[in-house]
Amino acid sequence: MFLSPKNWFLLACVMGLSCACSRDSSERSSNGRVVVNYWEKWSGFEADAMRAVVDDFNRSQDGIEVRFLSVAGVDTKLLLATSSGHPPDIAGLWSENIPDFSEKGALTPLDGGLATAGIKGEDYIPLFWELCRHRGFTWGLPTTPGCVALFYNKKLFRAAGLDPERPPRTFAEFESMSRRLTVVEIERAGKRVRISFEDLTPQERGGRKYSLVQVGHLPQDAGMFLSGWGAWFGAQFFDGERRILADDPGNVAAYGWLRHTAQTYGVENLRGFIEGFGVAQSAQTPFLGGSEAMVVQGPWMPNFISQFAPGIEWGAAACPAADGVGGGSPVTLAQCDVVVIPHGARHPKEAFKFICYLQRQDVAEKLARSQQKFTALRNVSVEFLKNHPNPSIKLFIELSRSPGARYVPRLSIWHEYDAELAVARERVLNMRMEPAEALKEAQERVQWKFDRVMRRWDAVGKERVAEWRGYDEW
For the entire predicted model, the pTM comes to 0.91
Q: What tens digit of pLDDT does each residue of 126-166 get?
A: 999 999 999 999 999 999 999 999 999 999 999 999 999 99
Same fold, 12-145+336-401 and 149-318+416-452: yes
φ, ψ of residue 374 to 5 degrees: the values are -125, 180
Q: What is the mean pLDDT of residues 424-430?
A: 94
The pLDDT value recorded for residue 279 is 58
Judged against a pLDDT cut of 50, whether residue 24 lies above it is answered with: no
The amino acid sitting at 471 is Y
The pLDDT value recorded for residue 1 is 39
CATH class of 12-145+336-401: alpha beta
- 66 near 38, Cβ under 8 Å? yes
Judged against a pLDDT cut of 50, whether residue 301 lies above it is answered with: yes
The pLDDT value recorded for residue 471 is 79
Distance of CA 72 to the CA centre of its chain: 16
- 140 near 102, Cβ under 8 Å? no
The pLDDT value recorded for residue 222 is 76
d(CA 93, CA 337): 6
Domain assignments of the chain as residue spans, ordered by start: 12-145+336-401, 149-318+416-452
Q: How confident is the model at residue 212 (pLDDT cuts 50, 70, 90)?
A: very high
Could you list the beta-strand ranges (E) of 247-377: 292-297, 314-317, 331-340
The pLDDT value recorded for residue 27 is 60
Q: What is the mean pLDDT of residues 291-308?
A: 93
d(CA 103, CA 134): 9
Residue 163: CA atoms inside 13 Å, Cβ hemisphere, count? 6
Inter-CA distances, 116 with 141, 424, 454, Å = 15, 47, 33
Judged against a pLDDT cut of 50, whether residue 358 lies above it is answered with: yes
Q: What is the mean pLDDT of residues 243-252?
A: 97
d(CA 232, CA 175): 13
The pLDDT value recorded for residue 275 is 85
Judged against a pLDDT cut of 90, whether residue 260 lies above it is answered with: yes
Q: What tens digit of pLDDT does each residue of 26-53 get?
A: 567 778 899 999 999 999 999 999 999 9
Q: Which CATH architecture has domain 149-318+416-452?
A: 3-Layer(aba) Sandwich (3.40)
> Chain-wide mean pLDDT for the chain?
91
Q: What is the mean pLDDT of residues 358-362?
A: 98
CB atoms within 10 A of CB 386: 7
**DSSP label of 327:** G
Judged against a pLDDT cut of 80, whether residue 281 lies above it is answered with: no
Reading phi first (left if > 0) and then psi (alpha if -120 to 50, else beta), residue 290 is in: left
d(CA 403, CA 380): 19
- 131 near 294, Cβ under 8 Å? no
d(CA 462, CA 60): 42
What contacts 121, CB < 8 A, 6 or more positions away?
A: 129
Pairing verdict, β 149-153 and 314-317: antiparallel
